[in-house]
Structure 1
Amino acid sequence: MRIFFMSHRVIACILALAAGPLAALHTPQADAREISSYARVNDDGTLKIDGYTIRLSGIHIPDTERTCQTYRVPPVCGPRAALALKFKIDGFVRCEILSRNADRSLNGWCRVGAGHFDEGEDLAAYLLRQGWAVALPDASVEYQTLEKIARSRGVGVWGYPVDRIVRP
């Protein structure tokens, strides 16, 4: 009987030791490598997902004046870039977190329409194509090219009179 009791204690200790590292894998920091949930678009073009503020990596969204889309009831108002992002996002957004900023916001590669076999559409690339964002100097060649194409087409901020676009 004593051997039976001791073996349960030994098994319990082994399980506790094995569960420690597994529990560490489920901390919020580890789970934050990818966030997938409903997103709210802030006026500055950042996304609010599961309590996290996420900036689209590789781009800068310049300030634009507020406008209202009156063909919708009720009218939707906000900066043009934020409105373009709001209308693009329909449902869940999946973000792969790439880094953390000093202000505790996150930088991420975010996409919509992602499924099991489809990466979905890159939101930063969408904003660049529509001309509502500029590629950061260290952004990928793809992002730099999308910005140049939007500029040559005169869409988004490239088609509206602005004082100047300030890159960060």
Structure 2
Amino acid sequence: MRPLFGRLFFGALASVLAGAVAVAAGPREIVGLAIVQDDGSLLIKGESIELFGIYLPDAGRQCSTRQRPVRCASRAVLALDFRVRGFVTCEPRARSAEGMTQAVCYVDRTGLSPGEDLGAYLIQRGWALALPNAPFEYHAMERIARANARGVWGTVVDSVSPP
């Protein structure tokens, strides 16, 4: 009885590890340390990658004094920069009109965890809008952020009054 249990246990363990390797290094994935650029794209291994399905509206610039040197950028870029620490895994989905890779990118991805979708992270906080080609979930998250007045939905915008 015990040898059968051992074979089942090690067989299950081997399939979990094989799945972890497959998730961690897909053939089309771009994996590496990411630098958040001022336009909200990610620079990974010398390639600029736009987050697929989102638009970063201009909500004004602010400066982040929690880091040195102080970084000034749009609020969406600062929120993205705050979340991107370490390795990022991107799954290419399309190319922009300018030829940039558009991808769904994740942080904290391991063989046992799918990680956190950076586009969803920005939409949930109200710093990004879902484009028409975005996944359905992005549109639902945008409606929730709007209903809760998060990010750009809660930001007071200067209005131009007639002279």
Alignment TM-score > 0.5, same fold: yes
Larger Rg: 1
Match in the other structure for 1:18: none
C-alpha distance after superposition, 1:29-66 (max 9, x if no partner):
xx982100011111111111111111111111112221
Give structure 1 regions of 4+ aligned residues with deviation exceeding 4 angstroms: none
Identity %: 47
For the Cα contact (< 8 Å) 2:59–2:155, is it kept in 1?
no
Alignment of 1:11-90 (within 5 A): 33-90=28-85
| Of 111, 118, 126, the match for 2:121 | 126
Q: RMSD across aligned C-alpha pairs, in angstroms?
A: 1.8
> Any idea what SS the aligned residue of 2:92 has?
strand
Normalising by structure 1, we get a TM-score of 0.74
For the Cα contact (< 8 Å) 1:44–1:63, is it kept in 2?
no
Instruction: Tell me the CA shift for residue 142 of structure 1.
Output: 0.6
Residues paired across the two proteins, number: 134
For the Cα contact (< 8 Å) 1:36–1:93, is it kept in 2?
yes
> Any idea what SS the aligned residue of 2:112 has?
coil
Verify: 1:105 aligned to 2:113, yes or no: no
Counterpart AA for 2:119: A
**5+ residue gaps in structure 2?**
1-25
For the Cα contact (< 8 Å) 1:127–1:133, is it kept in 2?
yes
For the Cα contact (< 8 Å) 1:128–1:150, is it kept in 2?
yes
Separation of aligned partners in 1, 2:27 and 2:76: 26
Counterpart AA for 2:117: D
Match in the other structure for 2:15: none
**5+ residue gaps in structure 1?**
1-30
CA 1:32–1:40 in 2, change beyond 3 Å: closer, same or farther? Answer: farther
